[in-house]
Structure 1
């Protein structure tokens, strides 16, 4: 059967392409899924759209992007058929997977496939994918009830991190330079928000915790933007003795300068710096190697979204036809005050 999907044909050029899918060609662990919604990652997918990824540090093992390049991040749809080795998933099931942006996809269920309740709005359920990234900050930290947590960046990932730290019993203060994102944060229940262009974030945090000198600060500082690596140094300055700095955003852009003040603070105040990449956790719940898994995280997040304990509605800024894919990616890359939570509605092209 014929399907349509998003493809990058060049830097900052997104369009739809036609392709063929067939139940007869499924791999043993694949499912054929008719798409309902898919969500864009402004960070990971955006770095491919703007051609930033090949310019990242060598540790990323990034290769030059070969166009046309297919992309995807979070996908929700209904199963049409399954491969011979697929377990616990049947035609008619509604599932969340890490599949490409396409009207019908061949989803790798061996990697990840989460059942989605029939009574949850798919436009909200798809945000489980982004909150699944954010929860890594909580899982990587040693947060305790009553801890003070300062978060830099109120995009999707930063906002969800703030909400999740509050669900864990922490008190949260948040910073961004976008008034729209700060208003969205407040609409999601994050009360203490500040515009970093109007205040000194470090001074605000120290005043918030009642510190009388420059050695005080939050228990946890979260850098949730990525790209702008200079903000990591700011997160360190926000933390007090025995604090934790959580790198939730992926550092990509160069940061020339003197690192000694940051390193001295880490050294003298016994601050820990922790990478919170989602993929450091095993995916499947069927493991004896770890208490925390990606599948378990997503299952919990889906319940919280379903029960309205994790707030999504204010973050959904655009539900677009996939035919507007160029608008979607360009907006996320260059109109950050307007485009934040962007979802493709695949029913609009059928």
Structure 2
């Protein structure tokens, strides 16, 4: 069986990816490494605990000795989701972001090189590219210069550069995926869409930074998972793949859409002081992964957001427990 090491597998995207892969393949063994910070939740994968081709280890990827012991088991593929990912938290204190996102990546790369990993996939973000103009129609491509504008995206860009250096210097078979904003089941309620859903259900104020016109390109998490799977199967070493669903919408419009779906009044919206370095627009050109690897997103936003809203309505116990942590 192929051994796949997934780091950060108890987080939002990582847990959805593990479930996605186990549902499609039975010739794999997944080892899930997660530090279980506030964003990592064992309940995200409660339905697969006990499977004979899945194991969970609570560990910090920055701990080299512990990671070496895992790599010695014979890891074929590494998919690194592990990261501190909330921009606001990075603005308040960047130290933990530097440690997890850069040092943790370096530990994984060193061990991947030492123990002969066949493929290493770094899960990155569109935020490394910086900001686009609101009135433009351009989109980020893989060769767009990196221009991060907050501590979180700066650490992710640093990790990307480190990953690329291991390919050019040592020949480590690495790939980088950069995805647009994800939404879907099991996303921590500090993020815009689940925060809006939860606050609307509770009829609590929904804070919107600045004028609310910041635009993001949104993709359903299941489509993101299928893209990573395609990169794992067919991706070329040394390459970067942008992933997006080509659906741009402003923050204020997405909040209004959720409120309308739930039958709530827009009086819940409260505009707040904009955060420092707030990027105005993201848009992803995912033509490369579509042309070269044959991947396309499948989920229409209207269907995906409806599924997401309904999931949070059905799983109040989950998000209440997350908010209490």
Alignment TM class, shorter chain as reference: 0.3 to 0.5
TM-score, normalized by length of structure 1? 0.35
In terms of fraction of residues, the more strand-rich structure is 1
Work out which of the two has the higher radius of gyration on C-alpha atoms and give 1 or 2: 1
Calculate the TM-score normalised by the size of structure 2: 0.37
